[in-house]
């Protein structure tokens, strides 16, 4: 009769191989995770906090979020080795995950409290949404490209974020059924500030948005809605974002 293991020796060999593999595989993935964590801390401590512009980040919860969210899980696998450079990276469909410093700066400008409800326009990879979800109670995020919406939803689910609600659609109109928002962040650049977004901001609410010509640099604007409903605007810096798109059937 033929058997799978013709003699004891081959059985011992297979069992030992199995034991070796089951011992080393978790060890290797643990080492890899530690390596990514080490790179992430270096990025935050040296490239962001250690630079002159890093001094503009006032909120320690933003720094803590940057140290804990695994940015490498939000970038395509072939770009993982560049995940902890202070650079934007392509995520497909001509879109990019923003530079970590810009994510930190925009989040910091929102001046978030932990019971805030936040709306993001332009989910992209989902990284910015994850940073927001580390700091606040509820995050709503809209993405216009269906595949990016689906991919980011999977990434955020795999990382077990329970306080992020994603949606596929044109964010120009905001998310009327979930208004008002304490903070709104727009991560693609429109030529003008969409009025529905201003309307959906609560009194005392803040919005950060890059505004300007899609092919040039834009102005990063900070808007604040006063308790009486009037809106103040402040220009923060020059930035370069991907264009804000519109659905043709709107
Ligand atoms: N916040 C993202 C950055 C993605 S780049 C991240 O952390 O990865 C900007 C994203 O905005 C792109 O994915 C683009 O498809 C999306 N976008 C552009 N116009 C939009 C619109 N009108 N509504 C919703 N998303 C939009």
Residues with CB under 6 A from ligand 1: 95-98, 121-122, 124-125, 127-128, 142-145, 148, 170-172, 187-188, 242, 244-246
Per DSSP, the three-state class of 118 is: strand
Report the nearest-CA residue for atom 16 of ligand 1. Answer: 122
- In order of 120, 125, 155, 163, 168, the CA distances from 149 in angstroms are 13, 8, 10, 16, 6
- Residues facing 121 on adjacent strands: 142, 186
Q: For residue 245, report the distance from its CA to the centre of ligand 1, in Å.
A: 8
Closest C-alpha among 100, 75, 73 to residue 86: 100
What span, in angstroms and rounded, lies between the C-alpha atoms of 15 and 82? Answer: 38
User: According to the model, what pLDDT value does residue 20 have?
Assistant: 75
Q: For residue 40, report the distance from its CA to the centre of ligand 1, in Å.
A: 24
Q: For residue 41, report the distance from its CA to the centre of ligand 1, in Å.
A: 26
Helix ranges (H only) for the chain are: 8-42, 60-68, 100-109, 127-135, 146-158, 195-199
Instruction: Report pLDDT digits (tens) over 128-153.
Output: 999 999 999 999 999 999 999 999 99
The neighbour count for residue 121, using CB atoms within 10 Å, is 27
The low-confidence residues of the chain, meaning pLDDT below 70, are 1-6, 24, 249-250
Instruction: Report pLDDT digits (tens) over 191-222.
Output: 999 999 999 999 999 999 999 998 899 999 99
The answer to whether 98 is a known catalytic residue is yes
Quote the tokens at residue 104: 């930190």
Q: For residue 212, report the distance from its CA to the centre of ligand 1, in Å.
A: 16
Report the nearest-CA residue for atom 13 of ligand 1. Answer: 124
Quote the tokens at residue 136: 């606040």
User: According to the model, what pLDDT value does residue 248 have?
Assistant: 73
């Amino acid at each position: 009769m033929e058997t799978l293991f013709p003699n004891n020796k081959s059985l011992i060999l297979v069992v030992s191989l199995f034991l070796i593999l089951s011992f080393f595989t978790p060890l290797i993935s643990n080492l890899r995770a530690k390596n990514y964590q080490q790179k992430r801390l270096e990025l935050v401590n040296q490239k962001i906090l250690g630079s002159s512009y890093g001094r503009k980040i006032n909120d320690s919860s933003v720094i803590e979020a940057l140290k804990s969210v695994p940015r490498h899980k939000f970038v395509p696998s072939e770009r993982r080795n560049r995940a902890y450079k202070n650079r934007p990276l392509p995520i497909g469909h001509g879109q990019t995950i923003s530079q970590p410093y810009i994510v930190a700066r925009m989040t910091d400008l929102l001046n978030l409290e932990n019971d805030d409800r936040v709306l993001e326009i332009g989910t992209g990879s989902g990284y910015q949404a994850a940073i927001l979800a580390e700091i606040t109670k509820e995050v709503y995020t809209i993405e216009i490209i269906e595949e990016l919406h689906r991919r980011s939803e999977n990434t955020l689910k795999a990382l077990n974020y329970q306080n992020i609600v994603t949606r596929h659609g044109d964010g120009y109109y905001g998310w009327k059924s979930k208004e008002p928002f304490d903070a709104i962040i727009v991560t693609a650049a429109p030529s003008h500030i969409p009025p529905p977004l201003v309307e959906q901001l609560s009194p005392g609410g803040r919005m950060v948005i890059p505004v300007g010509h899609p092919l040039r640099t834009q102005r990063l604007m900070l808007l604040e809605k006063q308790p009486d409903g009037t809106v103040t605007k402040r220009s923060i810096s020059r930035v370069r974002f991907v264009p804000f798109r519109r659905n043709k059937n709107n």
